[in-house]
Structure 1
Amino acid sequence: MADLANARVLILATDGFEESELFDPRQALLDAGANVTLASIKTDPIQGVVNDSEKARTITPDLTLDAVDTEEFDMLLLPGGVGNPDKLRMQERAVEIVSEFMDDDKIVAAICHAPWLLVEADVVDGRRVTSWPSVRTDLENAGAEVVDEQVVIDGNLITSRKPDDIPAFSKAVIEALQSELAEA
C-alpha cells in the first residue's frame, strides 16, 4: 500500500450532505494517511443528513470555496445528499473547482447525487458514469454513458451510486490516489 502522507484531498460540501458519503470516505482517506481539507460556502458548521430527511452530524469546513486553490490538491471528493450538490451547483466557484480538477486531469470522485456538479461543470460528455437513479437522466442528457454499477472508473473520474457502495467507492478512491502518487 502506497503511503498517502503527501496526498492532498479536497472535499466540497454544504448543508444537506449525506452523512455517510462525507464522513466514511473522509475517514478512509485519513486512515490511509491523506491530508483532507473540507471547503464550503462559508466556514460555519454544515449540517449532514441521513436518507435526506433526518439531521445527522455536523462538520466545520476548513476554508471557503473562494479560498480554494486547486493547484494545492491531488484529488476532489464530492459527497451526495440531495440538498448538498443542488446548492453547490448554484455556486459559480464550486462549478469552477470541478472544472479545474477535470481540466488538470486530477482525480474527481462523486457519489450519489454529487454527479449533478459534474453535469453543471459540463465534464461528463462521452464519459462512463453512475449515480443515484434520479440523476441518471441528467447525466445522459449531458452526454454521459450511464451504467448501474457500484463504482465506475473512467480515467480520472470515479463515480458511485449510493451509501451502500461506500466501501467499494472508498477503496477505488484510495487505489486511484495511490496509483496517481506512485506515477508522480
Structure 2
Amino acid sequence: MLTDRRVAFLVAPEGTEQVELTEPWKAVEEAGGKATLVSTGKDPVQAFHHLDKADTFAVDRVASDTSADDFDALVLPGGVANPDFLRMDKSAVRFVKSFFDQGKPVAVICHGPWTLVEADVVRGRQITSWPSLKTDIRNAGGEWVDAEVVVCESRPATLVSSRKPDDLPAFCKTLVDVFHRA
C-alpha cells in the first residue's frame, strides 16, 4: 500500500513517547513504506515511557541536512519534551513547515502539535491533540477537536492528528490510508 513511499519521523534527542514512535513506524513498514528517523543531532535518541527512560534509537538523518524533497510524508510523535525541544530548533521547524509548503501529508499525535504551532501551520485547520494543547492550538488559529483521530484535508497538505497512545490503532490505520492516497 505504501510501496516506495518514504516517511520521515522527526524526533528530538530525548523525550519522545516510545510507543508513539514505534507503532506508527511499524504501520508504515508493514504497509511497505520506508521509515527514516530524523533528529536535530546525530547521536541516538532517547525515547520514554511517560517519564521513564525507554529504548534508544539510531538516527538516520539530521534535520539541518535534510529536506522534505527527500520524503513523501512526515510523522511527528509526541511525548511532552519531544515537541518542546523540536519547536526550539530552527532547522526542525523549517523541516516541518516545508512538508506543508510542498503539500505533503503530515501525521501528528499527542503533544506533537506544539511543533506545528511553532511552524505556523495550524491556522484554519481542524486538529486534535493531548487536551492541554487546546488553548495553544486555538491561539494559533486552529480548531481543536476532541476526537480519536482527525483528518484535515486543507490545502496544500493533509493533516492527520490523534490525542494519545490509546488512539494509536486508529491513528496508524488512518495515516497509512492518507499517505497511500497522497
Which TM-score applies when normalising by structure 1?
0.94
Q: Give distance in 2, aligned partners of 1:72 and 1:44.
A: 21
Deviations 1:136-155 (A, max 9, x none): 11000001111100100001
Kindly state the Cα deviation for residue 179 of structure 1 after the two structures are TM-superposed: 1.1
How many residues matched? 177
2:106 is equivalent to residue 104 of structure 1: no
Structure 2 counterpart of 1:67:
65
Q: Which of the residues 55, 77, 80 maps onto 2:78?
A: 80
Kindly state the Cα deviation for residue 5 of structure 1 after the two structures are TM-superposed: 1.9
2:40 is equivalent to residue 38 of structure 1: no
Kindly state the Cα deviation for residue 66 of structure 1 after the two structures are TM-superposed: 1.1
Q: Extract unaligned runs of 5+ from structure 2.
A: none
Structure 1 counterpart of 2:49:
50
Structure 1 counterpart of 2:28:
29
Structure 2 counterpart of 1:139:
137
Structure 2 counterpart of 1:173:
175
Structure 1 runs, 4 residues or longer, greater than 3 Å off: none
Kindly state the Cα deviation for residue 178 of structure 1 after the two structures are TM-superposed: 1.2
Letter paired with 1:124: V
Structure 1 counterpart of 2:148:
150
Letter paired with 1:107: P
What is the alpha-carbon root mean square deviation over aligned residues? 0.8
Q: What is the DSSP-based 3-state SS (H/G/I as helix, E as strand, rest coil) of the residue aligned with 2:121?
A: coil
Letter paired with 2:117: V
Kindly state the Cα deviation for residue 46 of structure 1 after the two structures are TM-superposed: 0.7
Structure 2 counterpart of 1:122:
120
Letter paired with 1:30: E
Q: Give distance in 2, aligned partners of 1:161 and 1:141.
A: 18
Q: What is the DSSP-based 3-state SS (H/G/I as helix, E as strand, rest coil) of the residue aligned with 1:152?
A: strand
Structure 2 counterpart of 1:6:
4
Which TM-score applies when normalising by structure 2?
0.95
